[in-house]
Chains A and B, each alone.
Chain A
Amino acid sequence: MADTILAVTGLTVSFDGFKAVDDLNLSIDKDELRVVIGPNGAGKTTLLDMICGKTKPSAGRIEFKNADLTKLSEYEITRAGVGRKFQTPSVYDDLTVLENLEISYPKHRGVFGSLFFRRTREIGDKIRAVAQDIYLQDELETKAGILSHGQKQWLEIGMLLMQDPELMLLDEPVAGMSARERDLTADLLARISKGRSIVLIEHDMEFVRKIAHRVTVLHQGKVLSEGSMDQVQKDARVIEVYLGM
């Protein structure tokens, strides 16, 4: 298929005999916003960990634009165009918002490139544009460590935007956010999903309904069901393991 950006086949990983992800198959189209849901321990985060290289699978392939990601290290996967946002916001507390964004700019990533790096106008403009997108345009000089939880979540999304990845992996981006922040984040996701693919893990069903193109339900490391939110919610197996609880 020409418009598939990510193809996961036969993906398996076990931790001490426990199969967190078991022979999983998944395919993501270009420009798609896919939400992955499932009960705790279904293997959602582990799946993202394997795509971005944090965890090495025991078996299976992860094909991203004709490259097998299972053979690359984390930074090579990032450079190939995959961006990852973690469940607990991971920003650099001792650096300012501006510096956090600047570090994520996807050029000058070598030792000497970064030693002689100069912030050009183009980069400055991009930083300001991203800061505007993530509602932090007035916090550029603030140390990331003193931002609120929700702002840290946005900042980490902003760091991904600086990388301009073709595939974004977002792990619970609205966790711990107020209702207003959730709405702003839904807007943000709608804006940034144009021209790129997003795989997102979420528990908040209202939020999922608002943003998802398609939904994949994981259960015990396998795909239980896949389709639109309505289809998935009508699926008897899904109701049994998850929604019906």
Chain B
Amino acid sequence: MRWLSKGELFGYLSLAALLFLVFPLTLDPFRLNLISKYLCFALVGVGIVLAWGYGGILSLGQGIFFGTGGYLMAMFLKLEASGKELPDFMVWSSTETLPWWWEPFHNFFFTILSILVIPALFAFVLSYLVFKKRVGGVYFAIVTLALALTLTVLLVGQQGYTGGANGITDFRSVMGWDITSDESKRVLYFIHVVLLFAVMGIGAYIIKSRLGKILIAIRDREDRVRFSGYDTAMFKAFAFTVGALFAALGGAMYSLQVGLITPTLVGAVASIEMIIYVAVGGRLSIVGAVYGALLVGFAKSMFSENFPTLWLFFFGGLFIFVVVFMPNGLAGVLDRFSARKKGQRESGLNAVPERTKA
């Protein structure tokens, strides 16, 4: 078994060249910061490839975890920016003292720990209970969608604690290090790219491991896997939890680099957008998901700058096109293309059957 196929290798190398060299050397600080923003969703995408592409778990609520990660990071940033004062939005909503559960977020390391633990723990408990009850497929997607909506309503309603519909913004520094200058944004960009490759590496390792094969088996024939002696609910919960963890990292990087977090990033629309990034890139390909986030993110920026009213139509059309014509996204198209070239040499007996199951 080869560690990486030729196509995958090309994908990883070209991505590394783009992210480490081409973008930082050619783009102005504003555009580079936009790339950072897209890459936050790329982190989410890697998790979706694991959970959806391999585990068959469609979540329409990745915004929950993205948002949780983002808000946890934002709480720290806001407290540091406010110094000894109460955060401004609390003052406006006449909250008089800092709520007790905000207190620990004065500490950066506690914040990092909470980003790593809280969303993942929530995802694990929720999904294990649901999967143990044999609820899956569309029903699980609906549960996650409902939770994303609920969380949005909660965040908007609790203005004095969460900043309401405006979210939390106006950050300045991390432990005294100014994060608003172009120079520090560049440093953050590189930290982010390294983090992204680490996450992609973990994802690739999981897919190639025995656990990855078991996930494929569960996706295709969950009943049978139980009779091979596996607690399938535990495996699905694991895949979902890893996906939630990656999404939370994306959210935290978003707060750091974009400088705000709002309830719209938690809600149903944002969550579905995240699925579309992966569908476009290819839900069976980790590199594909990252390219998907970059391409769709870029298209979104271009379109919404030039034709703000048409953007959503374009987005919906794109999704329909991908679902109908490219079930495995761009990565799938490339695979088929290279398989055809190979087929001309070998005779296409082993042509990969196209899977269209959602």
Give the B-binding residues of A (Cβ under 8 A): 52, 54, 73-75, 78-79, 83-84, 86, 90-95, 99, 102-104, 106, 108-111, 114-117, 145-146, 159, 163
Contacts and interface: CB of A to CB of B under 8 A. Distances in A.
Interface stretch (B110-118, B208-216, B258-266): B208-216
Pairs of residues from A and B, 4 with the lowest C-beta to C-beta distance, nearest first: A78-B229, A117-B210, A74-B226, A114-B211
B6 interface: no
The binding surface of chain B is classed by DSSP as: helix
Interface in B186-239: 206, 209-211, 213-214, 216-217, 220-221, 223-232, 234-235, 238
11 contacts: A73-B226, A75-B226, A75-B231, A78-B227, A90-B223, A92-B216, A93-B220, A94-B355, A111-B238, A114-B209, A114-B211
A163 B230 CA distance: 12
B176 interface: no
B202 to A, nearest CB: 10
A94 B356 CA distance: 13
Given A75-B232, A94-B216, 7 more contacts: A75-B231, A83-B227, A92-B220, A93-B220, A115-B210, A115-B211, A117-B209
B317 interface: no
B234 A79 contact: no
B99 interface: no
Nearest to B351: A146
B221 A95 contact: no
A106 B229 contact: yes
A111 B210 CA distance: 10
B216 A114 contact: no
Contacts of B238: 111
B353 interface: yes
B230 A75 contact: yes
Given A94-B355, A114-B209, A78 B226 contact: yes
A78 B228 contact: yes
Nearest to A118: B210
Contact of B228 (A86, A103, A115, A117): A103
Contacts of B214: 103, 114
A103 B213 contact: yes
A54 B206 CA distance: 29
Contacts of A110: 234
B228 A95 contact: no
A163 B228 contact: yes
A168 to B, nearest CB: 12
A172 B71 CA distance: 57
Interface of B: 206, 209-211, 213-214, 216-217, 220-221, 223-232, 234-235, 238, 353, 355
Contact of A159 (B228, B232, B353, B355): B228
A14 B214 CA distance: 33
Contact of A90 (B209, B224, B234): B224
Most chain B CB within 10 A, of A86, A92, A93, A108, is at A92
Contacts of A99: 213
Contacts of A94: 216, 220, 355
Nearest to A92: B217
Contacts of A159: 228
Nearest to B217: A92
B267 to A, nearest CB: 31
Contact of B210 (A74, A79, A114): A114
Most chain B CB within 10 A, of A106, A111, A159, is at A111
A94 B353 CA distance: 9
A114 B325 CA distance: 35
A208 B353 CA distance: 37
Given A94-B355, A115-B206, A102 B213 contact: yes
Contacts of B213: 95, 99, 102-103
A75 B229 contact: yes
B210 A102 contact: yes
Contacts of A108: 210
A232 to B, nearest CB: 30
Contacts of B228: 78, 103-104, 159, 163
Contacts of B226: 73-75, 78
B269 to A, nearest CB: 32
A99 B228 CA distance: 13
A94 B217 CA distance: 8
A178 to B, nearest CB: 22
A52 B355 contact: no
Nearest to B215: A114
